[in-house]
Amino acid sequence: MEEMNINYITETIEHFGRQIISFLPGVVAAIITLIVGLWLANFLTKRVRYLLEKRNIEPTIRGFVSNLVSAILKVLVFVIVITELGVETTSLAALIGAAGLAIGLSLQGSLSNFAGGVLILLMKPFKVGDFIEAQGVSGTVQEISIFYTYLKTPNNQRIVIPNGQLSNNKVTNFSAEDTRRNNMILGISYDSNIGVAKETLLKIVNEHELVLEEPAPVVFVNELADSSVDLSLRFWTKTGDFWPTHFYVMEQAKLQLEAAGCSIPFPQRDVHLYKTE
């Protein structure tokens, strides 16, 4: 009886020994594949990052693409390694595919924002430092990430806009051009002299050092409104000088028009009273 137990144990040990010996080449091959695969994945990732930098691709896209390439290559290395170990990969591939589909459905909004971010970074409708208006808000672009764009309003508030909305809707970029036209509507009374008013307004802008000579400033009657004659004053400035010039001309227009005898009227209504028996 004892001899049978010893023989059984011996056979079991020999069996496991043969299994280990037969399995050992696969383990060694898997380890070598893992080491070489990870080195190759890191090498290719660095090459991709280098090529993106050489082509002056946006840093945000460079980082995202490099991380994506690294993740894909490492997943491939993992699949190859477990194949070397003799693990069936068909079910694993099906599982990964199902998980990818579920994640994709749950992240539809994020994927839309990602696609929008890529479009914005590649097409460059605006850049960091530009003053834009979009989605009913306006502000200076502080940061463009892969999913969101961050604005700072003139009131020092931070606004976060999803890139999916920015890429699919109208965006007004006030900083895109070097120069910008100012169109100011100024009303004078019907009793005022239009010629004097036009001469006064042109004198204000022509004497201002920040107003460009070309295109030349112009002023004309824009509308005969209910209570005033509305003059349109148009002049060009550098984009960065737009608001300082606007505020200066607005103040000087009131002061100098009044000094020239041209009054700026309040809204008026004629009221007729009828006596009834």
Tens place of pLDDT per residue across the chain (277 aa): 555 556 555 666 555 555 555 556 666 777 777 788 888 888 888 888 888 777 776 676 667 677 777 878 887 877 777 776 666 656 556 656 655 655 554 445 567 777 787 788 778 888 888 999 988 889 999 988 888 899 999 899 999 998 888 888 889 999 889 999 999 999 999 989 999 999 999 999 999 999 999 999 999 999 998 888 999 999 999 998 999 999 999 999 999 999 998 888 877 666 777 776 6
Rounded Cα–Cα distance for residues 137 and 118 (Å)? 22
One CATH from 3.65.10.10, 3.40.1390.10, 3.40.50.300, 2.30.30.60 for 125-173: 2.30.30.60
Rounded Cα–Cα distance for residues 218 and 231 (Å)? 10
Strand 179-188 relative to strand 229-238, pairing: antiparallel
Where along the chain do the CATH 2.30.30.60 domains lie?
A: 125-173
Radius of gyration of the chain (CA): 37
The per-residue pLDDT for 78 is: 79
Strand 229-238 relative to strand 131-134, pairing: unpaired
The per-residue pLDDT for 58 is: 66
The per-residue pLDDT for 218 is: 95
Where along the chain do the CATH 1.10.287.1260 domains lie?
A: 2-106
pTM of the predicted model over 0.75: no
Structure tokens at 42: 């890191």
Structure tokens at 210: 């920040």
The per-residue pLDDT for 211 is: 93
Q: Give all strands of the β-sheet with 179-188 in edge-to-edge order.
A: 179-188, 229-238, 218-224
The domain over range 179-259 is classified in CATH as 3.30.70.100: yes
Where along the chain do the CATH 3.30.70.100 domains lie?
A: 179-259
CA atoms within 13 A on the CB side of 76: 13
The per-residue pLDDT for 66 is: 76
The per-residue pLDDT for 151 is: 93
Query: What is the third-level CATH fold of 2-106?
Result: Helix Hairpins (1.10.287)
The per-residue pLDDT for 9 is: 59
